[in-house]
Structure 1
Amino acid sequence: MPKPVSLHPAFTTTAPFLSALAAAALLLTACGTEHAGAGNTGADAAAPQGGSMRIDDPGKDGVRITSLTLPSATPSPTGSYSVSADGLTTGSDSGISAAYEVTNESAEPLTYTVIFTFESSGGGAVTNRTETVRDVGPGKTVRGTLRAGELPPTAPRVTRAQVLEVTKVPAGEAPADPGTCPDSGIRVSADEGDAAMGLRVVGLHLDNCGTRPYSVEGYPLLELLDDDRKPVDGVEILDGSGEITTGAGPDEQPRPVTLEPGESATAGLVWRNTTEFGTPVNVPYVRVRAKDGAAPVTVTPHLDLGTTGKLGVRPWEKAAR
């Protein structure tokens, strides 16, 4: 398994020009003794520029933001999180960061992928950042800090941050980070996909990052899972995409593929999100096995299958180098 992500604790500093009242608030926040009541739903707070306050953030699916650090030249954020002033930054980094915590309330270790959004006072997204937090044990809480990074000069000022989306998979089935290699020597992942005129295509990628050849033939084996990672019924998984569309190219016959170390193969998921009569089906998780007997990897392509009830799967093909 790849090594867990290294997480660094949040930090705060006191800007020299803060008023005595704001400095005292910062000290209370640093000591963890200031706990403002919940109930602020996101309206701008009347705190001094670079000031600090703490209001409970309920978060989402076990992930919540605990503090937001802004450069002192940035206006104070909304009353949703603890905010601490920081000195003016130099260079390309914005100096904006969010401290967060991830709590696993399940009975098994989980790996979390979280999309955080940094927003302006008007509620518009300034930038989104994705963080993967690996191997959070049952009942455990892991804390870390995420930086907003470089922002365009014309970007509006960030005043708040939120947890936008959370996906979580069994730690032993999480896709490996790019640049790392699982013990199996085989890395399975899904790309962000493409959508046009209601047609959806997501690529599956199989990388031989090990030291020995690896052979596959035919189609990846799939299990479709709902939000609770339980099997989704009523969807027909088709060999090939011809019944879905001809726009993804002709169906190729499965053939043996042998990957030498450093080589890759691709397959594809193809569907339409047409919605007519019935209840639309959404599949956030797909458990993938490269072939029969291979270890499963759970990816998160978020299949919006509509009411079509069909998902086409294209066979493994060696990727061009």
Structure 2
Amino acid sequence: MAITRKATAVLTAGAGVLALTACGASAGGGGAAPSASAAAPTGPGGGIDVRVHADRLTTPTPRAGAGATPAPGARAAACTAPGPLITASDVDAAMGLRALTVTLTNCGTSPLTVRGYPDLRVLDAAGDALRVTVHHGITVTTGLTDPPPATLTLRHGDRAVAILAWRNTVTDATVTATTGAAFAVTPPGGFGPQVVQETVDVGNTGRLDTTSWHRPG
């Protein structure tokens, strides 16, 4: 299971830019969230040594390196191994709303067919899947473009992106707030899941929205 690094990206909203202050994943919503790297053992590359224990996300796969250059709507990633590469931007946060861009880059020599929405799980610091509902479509804000699902063919070096959005809302003191330390995305084509170390603080909403895969820009 690969663990990728992150780089800042600009999230596009229609023809404009989503004006979220880049405060990190712990901004707003009642103070800083615990650091994922502090809560979990480190792996060979310095990130979380995550093991996913739910359903088919149980088989570790080799870690993929992820060099990055900021780009509008997504980020470019340096291919270090054949196959798909999952990377993500840093979180943009403002007034309890969080959003980030996930990028799928085809580093293989064969075309990769991508359909619909990301196959995604939110993980705790131990690598276990949390009870977070991944909702297809953006409902937490009207400030993000939410394209209909489509079938994309990615040739070598081509990218598809999806935007994740959620609110760090705590409205019920009797319900424990949920904070993920990472999330796992399983690329299409029979490849294993790849893990991105990122705080996903959904409060007690228990919900994460995602757009479909679409072309950057």
TM-score, normalised on structure 1? 0.46
Q: CA RMSD in A?
A: 2.5
One-letter code of the match for 1:247?
A: G
1:238 is matched with which residue: 129, 135, 156? 135
Specify the alignment match of 1:221 in structure 2: 119
Measure how far apart 1:62 and its partner are.
8.3
1:196 is matched with which residue: 90, 94, 104? 94
1:177 matched to 2:74: no
Specify the alignment match of 2:152 in structure 1: 257
Specify the alignment match of 2:202 in structure 1: 305
Write out per-residue CA displacement over residues 282-311 of structure 1, whole angstroms, 9 at most, x where no aligned residue. Answer: 011211112373321011121011111111
Equivalent-residue separation in structure 2 for 1:214 and 1:265 (angstroms):
11
Check conservation: 2:112, 2:189, Cα contact below 8 A: no
Describe the shift of the 1:268–1:201 C-alpha distance in structure 2 as closer, same or farther (beyond 3 A). same
1:113 matched to 2:46: yes
Equivalent-residue separation in structure 1 for 2:185 and 2:209 (angstroms):
14
Measure how far apart 1:281 and its partner are.
0.4
SS in 2 for 1:318: coil
1:293 matched to 2:190: yes
Equivalent-residue separation in structure 1 for 2:120 and 2:142 (angstroms):
22
Q: Which runs of 5+ in 1 are unaligned?
A: 3-59, 64-101, 103-109, 115-166
Check conservation: 2:111, 2:154, Cα contact below 8 A: yes
One-letter code of the match for 2:143?
A: G
TM-score, normalised on structure 2? 0.66
Deviates more, 1:264-273 or 1:207-216: 207-216
One-letter code of the match for 1:200?
A: R
Matches within 5 A, 1:144-183: 167-169=48-50, 172=61, 174-178=63-67, 179-183=78-82
User: Which is bigger in relative contact order (C-alpha 8 A, separation at least 6)?
Assistant: 2
Equivalent-residue separation in structure 1 for 2:62 and 2:128 (angstroms):
15
1:266 matched to 2:164: no
Q: Which has the larger radius of gyration?
A: 1
SS in 1 for 2:149: coil
Write out per-residue CA displacement over residues 45-80 of structure 1, whole angstroms, 9 at most, x where no aligned residue. Answer: xxxxxxxxxxxxxxx6787xxxxxxxxxxxxxxxxx
Q: Which runs of 5+ in 2 are unaligned?
A: 3-37, 52-59, 68-77
Equivalent-residue separation in structure 2 for 1:271 and 1:241 (angstroms):
9
One-letter code of the match for 1:302?
A: T
Measure how far apart 1:172 and its partner are.
2.0
Check conservation: 1:259, 1:318, Cα contact below 8 A: no
Specify the alignment match of 2:16 in structure 1: none
Check conservation: 1:181, 1:210, Cα contact below 8 A: no
Write out per-residue CA displacement over residues 90-127 of structure 1, whole angstroms, 9 at most, x where no aligned residue. Answer: xxxxxxxxxxxx7xxxxxxx44435xxxxxxxxxxxxx
Matches within 5 A, 1:83-102: none
Number of positions where the alignment pairs a residue of Structure 1 with one of Structure 2: 162
Describe the shift of the 1:257–1:197 C-alpha distance in structure 2 as closer, same or farther (beyond 3 A). same
Equivalent-residue separation in structure 1 for 2:181 and 2:171 (angstroms):
20
1:207 matched to 2:102: no
Measure how far apart 1:224 and its partner are.
1.7
1:282 matched to 2:171: no
